[in-house]
Amino acid sequence: MKDVVTVGVRPERRRLERPTRRDWLTCAVVGALTAATGFLPHSDGKVTDALGWVLVAAMVLLTAWRRLYPLGALLALVPLQLTYHLLGNAPTTPVVASMLIIYSLAVAGPRRRTLVVVPTLLALALTMMLTVNVHKGLELVRTSGWIVACTLLGEAVRVHRSYVGAIVERAERAERTREETAARRVAEERLRIARDLHDLLAHSITLIGVQTSVAAHVLNADPARLDRATLAQALDGIADTCREARGELKRTLEVLRAEEGSGPPPGLGSLADLGRAAESAGAVVSLSVAADGGVPPAVGATAYRIVQQGLTNAVQHGGPAVGVQVSVVLDEASSALLVDVVDDGPVTDGPVTDGALTDGAAADRPPGFGLVGMRERARSVGGTVAAGPRTDGPGFAVRAVLPCARAAE
C-alpha cells in the first residue's frame, strides 16, 4: 500500500475590509465641516498651524474606517488628539471627527466595551494632560462633556437598533412559522383525503368485485337452471354499493371544493350500512355497537373508517362467505373506544403484508395501504391499532384503541 502524503495548504490571509463609497462620502463631509470650523475666529486667539492641519487631516481620514474598525479608529485618534493639543492648536478644529468616531464606537457596541474603553482613554488623556500642562488638562476636563454625550447618544442608537432588529426577527420567525403551519395543515389534509379515497374506493371496488364474481358464477354454473333471484340480488348489491360510493365521493369532493352544507362525516351510526354492504357480497357480519354517547365526531369517523377497512380486507382475502365479528364498545373506565374486527378467513404462516392477509389469489398483488391507513387514522386522534393473524384460530384480527377524552380536547 502506498503511503499517502498530505500536503498542507497554506490558509489565505484574511483580507482587510475597505471603506465603501458611503464611508468616503461621510469622510468628505466631515472634512468640509472640519475645515469650516478651523477657520472660525477663536476667543483665545489660537489658530491651527500647518502641522496641526496634518494631524487634523489624519483624524478626518480615520472616520472612513470608523464603521469597519471602530476600536482601532478610536485608539489611533487618541495620540493624534494629544499631539494636536500639546502643540497649542485651536481646540475646536478636530471636534467633528472625534465626535463621529466616539459615536461610531458606541453604536457598534457591545456596551461593555464602550463602558470600558471610553472612560479608560479619557482618564489616561486627563492624567497625561494634567501632568504636562495643568491649564490644558483643566481645559480638557471642561470639554469632556461632549465625549460623554456622544457615547450616550451612540449607546441609545445601538439599543434602538437592537430593539427594532429583534422585532423584525420575531416578525420574520412568526411568518415562517405561519407558513410552515399552513404547509403542514395542507399536507395533513391531503393525507386525510387520500386515506378517505383509499378506504372508499378499496371498499367499494372490493364489494363490487365479489358481487360481480357471484353474478358470473350464477350465469356460468348452470345456464339451463338460471337462479334469477340470486342474480338479481347480486346486481342490486352492485347498484347499492355504487350508490353509497357515489355519495361518499361527493362528500369528499365537497370538502375539497369548500362548499357549504357538505354534511357531517360518517360515524358510528353508519356502521350498520357497512355491515349490510359486506353482507350483500356474501359475508356473514355480526355487528355489536355499545357506544351511545361520549364519542367525539373525530373518533366516530376514525372508528367508521377502521371498520370499513377491516371489512374490506376480510371480504377481499377471506372469500365471499367469510364470517366477520365487529365490536365497537365505549370503555367508561379508560374513556376509550375499543374497536375489534375479527374474521375467520384463511391466513398464511408468513408475515402479514400491509393491507391484510394474503391468500393464493392475492399473493401476487403488491402490498396496499390498508393497515398504514388504519394506524395513521388512529394516531390522528391519539389512538393505536394492533393487527395480525388470530392466535386462537384461522383468520385475522384488528384491535383499535381510540381515546375519546384526548380527541375531544
Residue 29 C-alpha cell reads as 463631509
Give the pLDDT score at 13. 46
Pairing relation of β-strands 284-290 and 396-403?
unpaired
Closest alpha carbon to 289 in 273, 301, 271, 277: 271
Give the pLDDT score at 15. 63
- List CB contacts of 93: < 8 A, sequence separation 6 or more: 34, 37, 38, 48, 52, 56, 84
Give the pLDDT score at 356. 37
Give the pLDDT score at 258. 53
Give the pLDDT score at 401. 92
The label of the residue with cell 363490487 reads 208
The label of the residue with cell 498530505 reads 6
DSSP 145-175: HHHHHHHHHHHHHHHHHHHHHHHHHHHHHHH
Rounded to two decimals, the pTM is 0.47
How is residue 265 annotated by DSSP?
A: P
Give the pLDDT score at 253. 66
Give the pLDDT score at 262. 52
Q: What is the pLDDT along the chain (409 residues), one digit of tens a residue?
A: 444 444 444 444 456 688 899 999 999 999 999 888 877 766 566 788 889 899 999 999 999 999 999 999 999 998 898 888 778 788 788 888 988 999 999 999 888 888 888 888 888 777 776 776 667 666 667 767 788 888 889 899 999 999 998 999 998 888 888 888 878 877 777 777 777 777 767 777 777 777 777 677 667 766 665 667 777 777 777 777 777 777 777 766 665 555 544 556 678 888 888 888 888 777 888 998 888 677 888 888 889 889 988 888 888 887 767 889 999 999 888 889 999 999 987 644 443 434 333 333 333 444 457 788 788 888 888 899 998 888 888 888 999 999 987 554 5
DSSP E strand boundaries for 333-395: 336-343, 384-389
How is residue 351 annotated by DSSP?
A: P
Give dist(CA 83, CA 233) in Å, integer: 113
Closest alpha carbon to 316 in 356, 349, 347, 344: 356
Give dist(CA 12, CA 21) in Å, integer: 26
The CA–CA distances, whole Å, from 114 to 25, 102, 136 equal 26, 9, 25
Give me the helix-helix angle, 271-280 and 145-221, nearest 10°.
Answer: 40
Residue 96 C-alpha cell reads as 467633528
Give dist(CA 100, CA 122) in Å, integer: 16
Residue 101 C-alpha cell reads as 468616531
Count Cα neighbours of 93 within 13 Å in the Cβ-side half-sphere: 28
Q: Is 342 left (phi over 0), alpha (psi -120 to 50) or beta?
A: beta
Give dist(CA 225, CA 5) in Å, integer: 92
How is residue 247 annotated by DSSP?
A: H
Give dist(CA 176, CA 178) in Å, integer: 5
